[in-house]
A and B are shown apart, each in its own frame.
Chain A
Amino acid sequence: MTAETAPHDVEQPDDASDASSVARLHVITATAFLILGALVATFAAFQMVMPDLASGIAPLTYGKIAPAGRTLLANGWLTLGLLGAIYYVLPKITGEGLKRSILATISLVLIAVGVLAGVSGILFGLNSGLVGQETPIWARAILALGYLLAAITTTATARAKGDRLGATGWYLTAAPIWLTLSALVGLMPTSSGVAGSIQVAFANATFIGLFVITASVGLLYYAFTTLSNTDVSEPRPLSALGFWSLTLVWANMGAVALIYSPAPDWYETISIAFAIGSLIPLFTITGDIALMIRGNIAAIGDRQTLRYAVVSAIALAAATIVNLLWAWRATSAVVQYTTWVNTFWMLVVLGGGSFAVFAISSIKRGGSAGGRSTHHFVSTMGLVVMFIGMAVGAVVVGFSWAAGSASQAYPDAGAGWKVTAESIEPFLWITALGLLLYALAQFAFIVGIGKKSDEELDAPDPESVFDLQFEGTARYATWKRLMWGTAGVFVFAALMTLVLPIADDADREGTLLADTARTYEAGTAEAIGRDLYISEGCMECHTQVVRPIGTDVGLGPVAIAGDYANENPAPLGAFRFGPDLMHVASRGEFFDKVLVQAHIEDPRALIAWSKMPSYSYLSADDIGALVSYIETLR
């Protein structure tokens, strides 16, 4: 603080400067992860179109780079960035400093260490095989501990004004608690078969829905109301409806990732119903914010922050629609397993979540920080280009599958895949270029961060914000109710999309396929091959699930839960950039042991258009084991 920039000596409590330095430290660390993660993800995206990029270098295979990039962006950048923004905003709301800020600092260290250790684990062959939770379990344990400390800090801070938290406060208090609970569920040992997939789906859905989306919306509430100088005093019924409906529907979205899988049908149906329900918070929150700031829009001087917040809001709205189309079976029959899955993730993580953090870190200094408008423009362009590449590409690929199966042109997974590979090629280029734009833009962001420290104290007098936030209370918005509701939402979601679907063990008894082929005794070549399949990240491109729909006709018998009874984790997969491997060994002329081995060593020697990385770095024994494993996929 200098005399020039702060003519009025605000007597901020010591905690307040603590809060802003903790928040700044988080955002700076997070930005380092953002740049690293965006570059790694860009590298992976270019490997899709240039499969020989870094070919033959073990830690740089697509199957390892892709999950590493996602982890860096989601757990490194976004978790730290959102927590940092929460540390900045919560004290503004309560008018008091950050409580137990030492825990926040320890949490920062734990999360950073957890992410770095986890990403190293993925790169050096310790992939857990759980899509979305690829880091080794000990790394996730470190993360969970970090999340817990962060949640203690934020909860203690919010509690100071527990009964008088506005909508912003509800979101930002609940999000870290849910983050911790979600991570703890992710730590529980997975059961074998489809039950394990349900568990992973729950952990992923609660991380995205109850942490990323919830925290982002909370930050947007803060950004929009602060910018427009709007009174968000009384706990408004519409805000409360938006908060509880948003969190309830997104908590129950786990099954979207398992549409048409052998998971119980009713479980899939629940996620579709909640995906329909997700339109309620979309309308409610959009309407609530619009009604709140209506009339005060003209007062918004900080257009830069406004632009960030608007992009974030649009990305979250688009993610809601994409999620609905993904969950909706009729649409999903075409787009599931295509780049559609990535579209949703991109919109939430790189769009809604990231731009919410950008908005908060730009508040009050938007006009003066150079590079911010460049950063905003290029990042947004990157998002738009990625969206075109992923979403349009997904639809094109889906229709290519549907047309192929309807005309019975593809008697097996190999033949006909060429059509898919060729049709998606331009879209993979577009996606890679979009991601590159996005990654480059982030260098402009870190320039802005450096400038920020001088102007930090230009933030409004906490007192005034306090006045804006709390006047009046309502009986439904007390601290006690918030805490019970937070627990209630999580317990309800866990019951509906975790406990009950796992308890429903219809068709889970091992089938003939499971007991004769898909059983792996430790030490056998098949088991070693299966471990390699997981550690090399093969499920980044290959699914092992045949769905009862037209696009999967020709892949062999439809998968049922019992097929996976003896596998933990079950390799269902979430991405299908390469053909499905569920019954690959039974598919006519395509499967030949010698050819498969040659294909793994040098994919483009046999199939010129193949996008598979070369695994020439694996030893002959390892490749033999991998082929033995693939032979069991009958």
Chain B
Amino acid sequence: MDELLQKAAEAIGMPPSLAERSAQARAEKEGTTVEAVLREWAGESPADSEDEAADEAAAPEDAAPADDAAEQAAEADTDAGAPAEIDTAYLLTLAAEAKRMPEKLVLSSAEARARNAKQSVDEVLAGWAGVDIDELQAAPPPAAQAAEPEASADEPAPQEEEAPAEDEPAAGAAVATAAVAAGAAISMDELLDKVAEAKGMPAALAKRSAEARAKKTGEPLEAVLAEWAGIPVSDVVGAEAAEAATPEPEPEPEAAPESADEAAAEEEEEEADDAADDVEVIEAAEPAEADDDDDSEEEPVAVARSGYPTWLAAAFVLIPLFAVAYILIAPNGPDCGTASQLKVDEATGLAVNCDGSDYGSSTVDFFAEGAALYAQCAACHGSAGEGGAGPAFSGGAVLATFPAGSCAAHVEWVTLGTANWPDATYGATDKPVGGVGVMPGYEATLTPEQIAAVSLYERVQFGGQDLAEAEIDCGLVTAEGETTEAAAP
């Protein structure tokens, strides 16, 4: 007997003491033996026991409604979309039902939780659905469970007595999720709808308020709702049952079998049977939700809260760092030239270019551009213009060949090179073309502005020509100090 009790208790997911008590209640009601009930719960075929045979025969009329209920339950399961295999989608359906949240949200919350708790999504979902995933995988799929008539139709009552929703073994969970509790002439949902209508507030809020009130006044939840809905309390059949589910301290399971709770449970079972042909799918988590102190109600919220996106944490670090960096890098504002900042001329007080020239005048540093381009020339002419394969520029040599005012000739020479030069000589000193090495033409590789810039550099750096004069000489800047259109496209 103890072994059987153990087995049955395990199968339906309650402590043996409670299972025994429930079994007694059922046996008494159905006129069968405790052992038969336990055996049935434990999943052993009644035919295994000879004792059972008589009982089976003796109670055929009992079996009929129960079978009805089972069919309904099976239908309910099918409606809920329970697939044959235990997969994430199925768990999601269960969890969404249990938590009364849209599946999409449940999934995202579960993913967040899974990440934080380093569990798999399936495990998290199973936890919320009150299902033990291992057992569920091992056990037959829910359809098979539902075929077990008693398990479906009658289990909810004891189940509700035992609030902790976590780690419910397979059978209990299947029962809960099969969501067949059937119940009252007016179900909780209908009642809530009525109240919501009467009060013009969302049902969820109405429930919340009613719970708070029920807790405060000690009235049953249903009574409060009924009062608000304007329905006589007596019409609400579930009232007493709900009272049992209110958070008043429950007697220890070991207490006398005929406790008030026991009576309530029995009554509810009866109601369940009475209403068997009017089975309603209600949320499995209903009893848990009715209990304000139950952890499971707050769980989804708590999970969502812990799911801070990690990029947000990164933002908390990066944004202040960026702000502090800004202060450290530019404590007195940006330097001239950045963020549209101009220089203020000390003499006139006017805003001017960073180099002190008038705003709007040349802002291109042709000399620097030419210096950079000269790297290509340095191989033959030397980085300091000292010459090599090509002629030297330093010491005014470059201005001897192309004197001040003849930058155009300088530019033309660099553009064409020895190969394309039309005459036999070049420059003011009539140097022979090809006299010292071969000068490549840069027409194809550099723009006219770049050639002018590098010529400018050679003339200023090595020839000593005045920069401003050379800029005009080379056609980069007009005499008025503005960048020429051609030079600054």
Q: How far, in angstroms, from A202 to B157 measured CA to CA in the complex?
A: 66
Residues of B within 8 A of A461 (CB): 209, 212-213
Residues of B within 8 A of A365 (CB): 200
Contacts A301-B205, A302-B202, A548-B342 given; indicate if A557 touches B305 (C-beta within 8 A): no
Contact segment of B35-43, B161-169, B281-289, B344-352? B344-352
B350–A292 CB distance below 8 A: no
A230–B301 CB distance below 8 A: yes
Contacts A368-B200, A458-B201, A460-B209 given; indicate if A295 touches B101 (C-beta within 8 A): yes
Interface flag for B227 (CB, 8 Å): yes
Chain B nearest CB from A255 CB (Å) reads 11
B212–A273 CB distance below 8 A: no
Of B106, B199, B298, most A-chain CB atoms within 10 Å: B199
B298–A298 CB distance below 8 A: no
Chain B nearest CB from A225 CB (Å) reads 11
Interface 1/0s, chain A 328-361, versus B by CB < 8 A? Answer: 1110011000000000000000000000000000
Interface 1/0s, chain B 329-362, versus A by CB < 8 A? Answer: 0111110001111111000111100000001100
Interface 1/0s, chain B 83-113, versus A by CB < 8 A? Answer: 0000000000000000101100110110000
Residues of A within 8 A of B205 (CB): 229, 299, 301, 460
A-contacting residues, B212-261, CB 8 Å: 212-213, 216, 224, 227-230
Q: How far, in angstroms, from A549 to B352 measured CA to CA in the complex?
A: 9
Interface flag for A553 (CB, 8 Å): yes
Interface flag for B59 (CB, 8 Å): no
B333–A236 CB distance below 8 A: no
User: Of B99, B332, B348, which is within 8 A of A266 by CB?
Assistant: B332
User: Of B230, B312, B359, which is within 8 A of A287 by CB?
Assistant: B312
Residues of A within 8 A of B64 (CB): none
Chain B nearest CB from A399 CB (Å) reads 12
Q: How far, in angstroms, from A186 to B348 measured CA to CA in the complex?
A: 36
User: Of A7, A283, A292, A330, which is within 8 A of B340 by CB?
Assistant: A330
A-contacting residues, B289-347, CB 8 Å: 298, 300-301, 304-305, 307-309, 312, 315-316, 319-320, 322-324, 326-327, 330-334, 338-344
B323–A277 CB distance below 8 A: yes
Q: How far, in angstroms, from A128 to B282 measured CA to CA in the complex?
A: 68
Complex: chain B residue closest to A461, CB-CB? B209
Q: How far, in angstroms, from A367 to B360 measured CA to CA in the complex?
A: 61
A276–B344 CB distance below 8 A: no
Interface flag for A444 (CB, 8 Å): no
A557–B301 CB distance below 8 A: no
User: Of B301, B333, B343, B359, which is within 8 A of A268 by CB?
Assistant: B333
B-contacting residues, A545-571, CB 8 Å: 546-553, 556-558, 560
Contacts A287-B312, A463-B212 given; indicate if A553 touches B360 (C-beta within 8 A): yes
Q: How far, in angstroms, from A426 to B166 measured CA to CA in the complex?
A: 65
Interface flag for B431 (CB, 8 Å): no
Residues of B within 8 A of A558 (CB): 344, 349-351
A280–B316 CB distance below 8 A: yes
B212–A464 CB distance below 8 A: yes
Chain B nearest CB from A289 CB (Å) reads 12
Residues of A within 8 A of B196 (CB): 301
Contacts A229-B202, A287-B312 given; indicate if A552 touches B338 (C-beta within 8 A): no
Q: How far, in angstroms, from A279 to B348 measured CA to CA in the complex?
A: 41
Chain B nearest CB from A176 CB (Å) reads 28
Q: How far, in angstroms, from A402 to B300 measured CA to CA in the complex?
A: 55
Interface flag for B139 (CB, 8 Å): no
B350–A556 CB distance below 8 A: yes
Chain B nearest CB from A141 CB (Å) reads 37
Of B208, B224, B320, B332, most A-chain CB atoms within 10 Å: B208
A301–B304 CB distance below 8 A: no
Query: Chain A interface residue count: which class?
Result: 35 or more
Interface flag for B63 (CB, 8 Å): no
Residues of A within 8 A of B438 (CB): none
Chain B nearest CB from A114 CB (Å) reads 37
B interface secondary structure, majority: helix
User: Of B102, B108, B323, which is within 8 A of A276 by CB?
Assistant: B323
Interface flag for B379 (CB, 8 Å): no
User: Of A266, A287, A294, which is within 8 A of B331 by CB?
Assistant: A266
A279–B204 CB distance below 8 A: no
Interface flag for A272 (CB, 8 Å): yes
Residues of A within 8 A of B227 (CB): 7-8
Interface flag for B446 (CB, 8 Å): no
Q: How far, in angstroms, from A546 to B349 measured CA to CA in the complex?
A: 10
A8–B228 CB distance below 8 A: yes
Residues of B within 8 A of A368 (CB): 200
Chain B nearest CB from A22 CB (Å) reads 23
Q: How far, in angstroms, from A548 to B334 measured CA to CA in the complex?
A: 12
Interface flag for B198 (CB, 8 Å): yes
A407–B360 CB distance below 8 A: yes
Complex: chain B residue closest to A236, CB-CB? B305
A276–B333 CB distance below 8 A: no
Interface flag for A291 (CB, 8 Å): yes
Residues of B within 8 A of A296 (CB): 204, 301
B305–A291 CB distance below 8 A: yes
A298–B340 CB distance below 8 A: no
Interface 1/0s, chain A 221-250, versus B by CB < 8 A? Answer: 000000001110000101001000000000
A301–B319 CB distance below 8 A: no
A interface secondary structure, majority: helix
Q: How far, in angstroms, from A552 to B322 measured CA to CA in the complex?
A: 29
Residues of B within 8 A of A468 (CB): 208
Complex: chain B residue closest to A238, CB-CB? B308
Chain A nearest CB from B228 CB (Å) reads 5
A291–B307 CB distance below 8 A: yes
Interface flag for A616 (CB, 8 Å): no
Residues of A within 8 A of B213 (CB): 8, 461, 463-464
Chain A nearest CB from B336 CB (Å) reads 9
B315–A272 CB distance below 8 A: no
B-contacting residues, A436-479, CB 8 Å: 455, 458, 460-461, 463-464, 467-468
Complex: chain B residue closest to A290, CB-CB? B304
Q: How far, in angstroms, from A501 to B203 measured CA to CA in the complex?
A: 56
B327–A329 CB distance below 8 A: no
Interface flag for A495 (CB, 8 Å): no
Contacts A8-B227, A268-B333 given; indicate if A550 touches B323 (C-beta within 8 A): no
B326–A273 CB distance below 8 A: yes
B322–A276 CB distance below 8 A: yes
Q: How far, in angstroms, from A273 to B304 measured CA to CA in the complex?
A: 32
Q: How far, in angstroms, from A126 to B451 measured CA to CA in the complex?
A: 67
A280–B305 CB distance below 8 A: no
User: Of B199, B203, B204, B326, which is within 8 A of A458 by CB?
Assistant: B199
Q: How far, in angstroms, from A367 to B201 measured CA to CA in the complex?
A: 9
Contacts A7-B228, A8-B228, A277-B320 given; indicate if A549 touches B198 (C-beta within 8 A): no
A460–B201 CB distance below 8 A: yes
B301–A295 CB distance below 8 A: yes
Complex: chain B residue closest to A292, CB-CB? B305
Could you name 15 residue pairs across A and B whose Cβ atoms are closer than 8 Å? A7-B198, A7-B229, A8-B213, A230-B301, A265-B333, A269-B331, A280-B315, A291-B307, A295-B105, A295-B109, A300-B202, A405-B359, A406-B360, A546-B351, A548-B342
* 15 other A-B residue contacts (CB within 8 Å) besides A7-B198, A283-B316, A295-B301: A8-B228, A229-B208, A231-B298, A266-B331, A266-B332, A274-B323, A277-B323, A284-B316, A287-B312, A297-B105, A299-B205, A463-B216, A548-B343, A550-B351, A550-B359
Measured CB to CB, the residues of A under 8 A from B are: 7-8, 229-231, 236, 238, 241, 265-266, 268-270, 272-274, 276-277, 279-280, 283-284, 287, 291-292, 294-302, 328-330, 333-334, 364-365, 367-368, 405-408, 455, 458, 460-461, 463-464, 467-468, 546-553, 556-558, 560
Top 8 closest pairs, chain A to chain B, by CB: A557-B349, A301-B202, A333-B340, A265-B332, A464-B212, A330-B339, A299-B204, A273-B323
Measured CB to CB, the residues of B under 8 A from A are: 99, 101-102, 105-106, 108-109, 196, 198-205, 208-209, 211-213, 216, 224, 227-230, 298, 300-301, 304-305, 307-309, 312, 315-316, 319-320, 322-324, 326-327, 330-334, 338-344, 348-351, 359-360
